[in-house]
Amino acid sequence: MSKHIIQVPDIGGSEDVEVIEISVAVGDSVQAEDTLLVLESDKASMDIPSPMSGRITRLLVQEGDKVSQGVQIIEIETEGEAASSATEQPTAAKAESTATAPVAPAPAPAEVSSATVSQQRQAIYVPDLGGHAQVEIIELPAKVGDQLQAEDTLLTLETDKATMDIPAPVAGELVELLVKEGDKVSEGDLIAYLLTADSSASATISSNSAPAPAEIAPSAPAAPVTSAPREQEVRVPDLGGHSQVEIIELAAQIGDQLAEDAPLITLETDKATMDIPAPFAGELLELKVKVGDKVSEGDLIAILRTQSSANPAPVAASASQSSAAQTSAPQASAPIAAPAATSPAAPKASQPASSGKVHAGPAVRLLAREFGVDLSLVPATGPRGRILKEDVQNYVKAILQQPRSTTPSTAASSGAGIPPVPVQDFSQFGEIEEKPMGRLLKAGAVNLHRSWLNVPHVTQFDQADITELEDFRKSIKAEAEKQGAKLTPLPFIIKACALALETFPQFNVSLGAEGDTLIWKKYINIGFAVDTPDGLLVAVVKDANKKSVYQLARETADLGARAQKKQLKGEDMKGSCFTISSLGSIGGTAFTPIVNAPEVAILGVSKASIQPVWDGKVFQPRLMLPLSLSYDHRAINGADAARFTSFLSQVLADIRRMLL
Ligand code: CAO
């Protein structure tokens, strides 16, 4: 029996990596390669496998500890004769599925005694590149000294159409790297030496075990040009034996004039991304696929209208590059490439320009996809405008550090993309006192800001002659009071608005979530703004169209009073279809109220005043009520807004019309 202290192996230079899981307990029997514990850095999680079979006798770390290479983690008792308390390192950490790290097959079980480890220096060559030669190395993710797992990316190549990873064909230490970024390589070029722990595995290394060749379909034959346009199909070319390959990006849009070889769509296998370019120049008439579709050789992708009367034979675009890396090692690695985070429904501005190709390696694309980052928006710092992982990370950091303006928040913030108002030290100009905004004020600020930014506002102004209405109101005021109703102009205005909403139902809608539908409401609830010492509230009169003026007067007085006393319940403030903001008791001649989104219109009411109105013969003194109707121009057109306020004016000028 002997005891062995197991240490953290080489974990790719990472330090202070957190132990997130201890997979064994004291007394457990483990086999070589069984996971002892799991580490997690900000880049990857790694299993630390046992280098030997035995029984766990001591745990030297606990979950949450931070460890680095060489830290003692576990004591194992074995049946063998090895020296007691020898310290052992697992041969390598096993990178698990993570954001970027491929999952590698477990290394061959490490023998306890170093004497039994047969190490061999293995030459690594560039595999068949599908007929491409002199392909540029754009990234060298591995450094000399790194312990690589089979399938770890050794280097990334980029043609003008695609990026592809060249993985390590076996596990081992990278002892020599014979190329650098910017070098151009072809099939068979010697690129690196790995020190492998298992000679039997390494013996098979050759260019044959590297990624399988990508078969490149012939480009469209040159066709004689004629003036007659014709529609030609574009089909998926030979994908190097791959089928059902996912479309991760549509690089062109219907109506685009494409040059020959301009990217049409981008596909992604588990190892590489590849562009399918237009095989000939022409206008993109139809796209038969969408992001997320899976395609195979021969599938119809698009219809192009070309000027060429070419032989319709060029059915397949040429895959500009396919680097389906079929290695002899198990296909356990994580997907490498990722699309820019765009979707067909995304606003055009956020999609990569069809002409402007994003240069990014598969690992960077994966990272971007995981964070939902549109790579076309990421400033590139790599050679030839290539986007590096750090670029994506910096972009995400920058976004996170921006004030949140599009998500609900308790603070009124600046708008997306709008430069914030500079912060000033007002105390330099005089005495100041900074106090927190009240809850109601903050909530109001956020709601108003959100509506202001989201809704394209237009305000329609009008005036209603309420001379007769006011005479009538005053004449029945006392009677109304006996019935418990304080009769101000507001209940009449609510009644008139309810009738206007019945007559113009396009004002009683909300935009659907995607902005391409309208939700028509069959009920008429009218909100009205109440000014309270703590801020603005909107109380809601339900089914206003079904209530009498007296009922409306009682209800608005009750809601207004309760609002002042902070006694409104949640349901008193919900479900409004249209809002009235009346400043009539205060003053003003007109204002532009902000639509109470998701409603699509709001009526501002200012103070009525006597105005000279021409009756055809003379000016008459009339009591005119200013109306300001703000509306969401996405849902309502200006002519309807003018009709709506004209209707309101007519009804308020002669309330008998409410009976009609
Ligand atoms: N023109 C002239 N006089 C008006 C008027 C108008 N448009 N509207 C109301 N008045 C008169 C009323 O008739 C009443 O006078 P009498 O007692 O002589 O009849 C007096 O002004 C006071 O009315 P009121 O304010 O008590 O009642 P109301 O029904 O008009 O309003 C309410 C109720 C809750 C809407 C109001 O108190 C209020 O809070 N308004 C502010 C709304 C607001 O802040 N809007 C801005 C939102 S955006 O920031």
Pocket of ligand 1 from Cβ distances under 6 Å: 488-490, 528-531, 536, 556, 560, 581-585, 593, 605, 607-608, 625
Mean pLDDT of the chain: 78
Report which ligand 1 atom has the smallest distance to the Cα of 608: 1
Does the pLDDT value for residue 639 go beyond 80? yes
**Ligand 1 probe mutation, 528, 582, 609, most atoms within 8 A of CB:** 582
Does the pLDDT value for residue 240 go beyond 90? no
CB-CB contact of 30 with 78 (8 Å)? no
What does the pLDDT read at residue 627?
98
Q: Which of 187-201, 313-327, 367-381, 413-427 has the highest mean pLDDT?
A: 367-381
User: Atom 11 in ligand 1: which residue has the minimum CA distance?
Assistant: 585
**Ligand 1 probe mutation, 440, 449, 488, 599, most atoms within 8 A of CB:** 488
Does the pLDDT value for residue 441 go beyond 50? yes
CB-CB contact of 210 with 130 (8 Å)? no
Identity of residue 5: I
Rounded to the nearest whole angstrom, what is the distance from the C-alpha of residue 200 to the centroid of ligand 1?
91
Rounded to the nearest whole angstrom, what is the distance from the C-alpha of residue 565 to the centroid of ligand 1?
17
Q: How far apart are CA 317 and CA 260, in angstroms?
A: 10
What does the pLDDT read at residue 413?
53
476-483 — which CB contacts under 8 Å span 24+ positions? 480/550, 480/553, 483/550, 483/554
What does the pLDDT read at residue 113?
31
- What percentage of the chain exceeds 70 in pLDDT? 76
Q: Of 630 and 210, which is predicted with more confidence?
A: 630
What does the pLDDT read at residue 611?
98
Q: How far apart are CA 594 and CA 66, in angstroms?
A: 54
Burial of 435 (0-12, 13-18, 19+ CB in 10 A): exposed
Phi and psi dihedrals of 307, rounded to 5?
Answer: -80, -15
Pairing of β 29-30 and β 120-125 = unpaired
Alpha carbon separation from 38 to 20, 66, 73, 185 (Å, rounded): 6, 11, 11, 38
**Beta-ladder partners of 40:** 18, 45
Block residue for tokens 């005119």: 624
Report which ligand 1 atom has the smallest distance to the Cα of 581: 45
pLDDT digits (tens, 9 = 90+) for 122-156: 888 888 787 788 888 888 888 888 888 888 888 88
Report which ligand 1 atom has the smallest distance to the Cα of 536: 44
Active-site positions read 633
Rounded to the nearest whole angstrom, what is the distance from the C-alpha of residue 605 to the centroid of ligand 1?
9
pLDDT digits (tens, 9 = 90+) for 331-370: 222 222 222 222 222 222 233 333 345 677 667 777 887 8
Q: How large is the average pLDDT for residues 603-617?
A: 97
What is the per-residue DSSP string for 80-114? Answer: S-PPTTEEE--S--EEPS-SSPPPPPPPPPPPSSG
